[in-house]
Structures are given as structure tokens and as C-alpha cells.
Amino acid sequence: MELQGQVAIVTGAGRGIGRATALELARLGADVVVAELDKAGAERTAALVKELGRRASVVPTNVTSPTDLKTMAERTRAEFGRIDVLVNNAGIYRAAAPLDVTEAHWDAVMNINAKAVFFASQAVLPTMIAQKRGSIVSLASLAGKVGSRTNLPYNASKAAVISITKSLALAHAADGIRVNCVCPGFVETDMWTVVAREQGALLGVPPEEFTRQRLAQIPLGRMERPEDVANVIGFLASPRAEYMTGQAINVTGGVIMH
Ligand SMILES: NC(=O)c1ccc[n+]([C@@H]2O[C@H](COP(=O)([O-])OP(=O)(O)OC[C@H]3O[C@@H](n4cnc5c(N)ncnc54)[C@H](O)[C@@H]3O)[C@@H](O)[C@H]2O)c1
């Protein structure tokens, strides 16, 4: 119960890695605010958190709106009195060859995956600074550390998350705030269905074959589960990681090692 009495916000927690993270933080003792676009998914996650004996609240949030992000922080403070953990999880994936990337594609991916990570952090930081304590964990990706023929904006957005993590970690270490990110690999969620379909189509292979090819690249021999990521986020959020900040931690089954 390393997060007993603490309050965590998880963006995009209506399914996938976000939901698994909300439940892991609840198991560690935290009350959870589900900041999500999808109402039904958010309410289901909140119900599951409550089944674990923790308080949960749904704050309808579009992370691309800095106003929504301010409201998210204000409502959390009003209802729970503090903000100890922020997990920037909401994200989207789109595939296209570089010459086919439109401005709309670029903006959609960068706004949700990168810009929102910064403005959500900015929204909670004043509270964390006043508390002299806080932990921010964001979802980057192995895509943030390697190149790609088929999803340049996605990779650029995840590299931006790693960079935002390092700058915020430096700027707020003296305030008692740690900022880290995780870099998952091939995680079986609704997003993976989109990755396999869109990237597979560009590479000329059916989605099942695309997934088989990716699986063959994983040294640990199985696809990643949302819980594999959530466990590491729980660790980074907790005092067990009190000497870690500014890090981008791979959780890929060994696909990348740098
Ligand atoms: N699945 C993978 O293989 C993988 C690998 C590396 C990193 N990631 C990253 O992990 C995070 C979660 O991925 P996932 O696979 O669980 O995705 P997912 O698509 O299954 O879930 C994403 C969630 O974010 C929410 N969301 C989307 N746009 C939003 C917005 N504008 N405002 C608020 N909520 C919004 C969705 O409603 C959904 O509940 C993403 O940042 C993703 O880029 C995923």
C-alpha cells in the first residue's frame, strides 16, 4: 500500500493501459481520477477502482484542451484535496508514409500525444509544488527511441514525450517532484488493433501476419499486456522509485535495449 492516502489522475483511463494503470494505482492504495473522453469506459474503470475499496471520480476530459486540463486539476483538488500522481496516458496512433502525412494527421497526433502531456503536467504542477511532493509518469513508447517508415508523426510525438520528461524533471527536482516516462513495446490493446491494421496495410501484410512478425522480434517470447506496463508505472509513481527522475524506462520484452 505504497500510495495509501494519495490521489492519482490517469488520462485516457477508460480502457487499455490507462485502465490497467488506474487499477494498479488503486491496488497500491491511491484514490483515482479518471480523466477521459469516453464516458462509458471511464465509468467502468471508476466502478472497478471502487470495487478495490478506493475512491474514484470521472472527470470528462479532452486532453487536447488546456481548459479541460485546468478543470481536471481543479476538480481533483476540490474533491480530493491533493494531487500526488499524474499519469499522462491518453494517446492515439495513425500510420502513413512520410509523403502522405497531412497537416491534420500531424496536428492530431502531436496535440494528443505530446502537447497534452505538457499542458496536463503544467495544470497539476502548482498543486504538487505547494505539497512539495508529486510524481508524473507519461506514456512514451519504443517508437520514441527508433525511426519508422510508416508512422513518423507518432514516433516524433513519443520522442517529444521523452524530451518533455527530461526538462520537467530538471525544472522541478528541487520542488520534490519526480518526472519519468515509460516506453512500452507491442501491447495488445484496442490501439494495437489499429497499429496492426494500418501498418500492416502499408507494408502489404494482413494484420494477423503483421502481429506474428512483431511477436517473432520479442526476446521474451510473448506480446505485452497492459498490466506489464501498469506494474512499472506503479513502481515509478511510488516512493520505491524516489531516486529516479528524468528517465525513459523500456518495457518491451527486450525488443530494444537502449
Ligand atoms: N498499445 C501499444 O502497443 C502501445 C505501445 C507503446 C505506447 N503506447 C501508448 O500507451 C498509451 C495508451 O495506449 P493504449 O494501447 O492503451 O491505447 P487505447 O487506444 O486502447 O486507449 C487510449 C485511451 O485514451 C483515450 N483518449 C484518446 N484520445 C483522448 C483525448 N483526446 N482525451 C482524453 N482521452 C483520450 C481513449 O478514449 C482510450 O480510452 C498511449 O499513449 C499509447 O501511445 C501504446
Please report the sign of the dihedral spanned by the C-alpha atoms of residue 64, residue 81, residue 237, residue 3. Answer: negative
Catalytic, out of 80, 93, 118, 154: 154
Query: Is residue 93 among the annotated active site residues?
Result: no
| Full pLDDT tens readout for the chain, 258 residues | 899 999 999 999 999 999 999 999 999 999 999 999 999 999 999 999 999 999 999 999 999 999 999 999 999 999 999 999 999 999 999 999 999 999 999 999 999 999 999 999 999 999 999 999 999 999 999 999 999 999 999 999 999 999 999 999 999 999 999 999 999 999 999 999 999 999 999 999 999 999 999 999 999 999 999 999 999 999 999 999 999 999 999 999 999 999
Q: Is 92 in the pocket of ligand 1 (CB under 6 A)?
A: yes
| Cα gap 178→191, rounded to integer Å | 28
pLDDT of residue 62: 98
Domains in the chain, ordered, with CATH?
7-185+225-251 (3.40.50.720), 189-223 (no CATH)
The alpha carbon of 97 and the centre of ligand 1 are apart by a number of angstroms equal to 21
Distance 4 CA to ligand 1 centre (A): 26
Residue 237: the pLDDT is: 98
pLDDT at 178: 98
Ligand 1 atom closest to the Cα of residue 42 is: 39
DSSP one-letter string for the chain? -TTTT-EEEEETTTSHHHHHHHHHHHHTT-EEEEEES-HHHHHHHHHHHHHTT--EEEEE--TT-HHHHHHHHHHHHHHHS---EEEE-------B-GGG--HHHHHHHHIIIIIHHHHHHHHHHHHHHHHT-EEEEEE--GGGTS--SSBHHHHHHHHHHHHHHHHHHHHHGGGTEEEEEEEE-SB-SHHHHHHHHHHHHHHT--HHHHHHHHHTT-TTSS-B-HHHHHHHHHHHHSGGGTT--S-EEEESTTS---
Q: Which of 161, 186, 189 to mutate to test the pocket of ligand 1 (most atoms within 8 A of CB)?
A: 189
CA distance 60 to 39: 7
Confidence (pLDDT) at 1 = 87
**Number of C-alpha atoms within 13 angstroms, CB side, residue 155?**
15
Q: How many whole angstroms from 174 Cα to the centroid of ligand 1?
A: 31
Give the whole-angstrom CA distance, residue 222 versus residue 27. Answer: 25
One-letter amino acid for residue 224 of the chain: E
Q: How far is CA 148 from the centre of its chain?
A: 20
Q: Which residues contact 212 (CB under 8 A, 6 or more apart)?
A: none
Residue 64 beta carbon below 6 angstroms from any ligand 1 atom? yes
Q: Is the CB of 198 under 6 A from ligand 1?
A: no
| Structure-block grid coordinates of residue 219 | 526476446
Q: What pLDDT score was predicted for residue 29?
A: 98
Task: Return the residue whose CA atom lies nearest to atom 2 of ligand 1.
Answer: 187
| All three cell numbers of 124 | 497539476
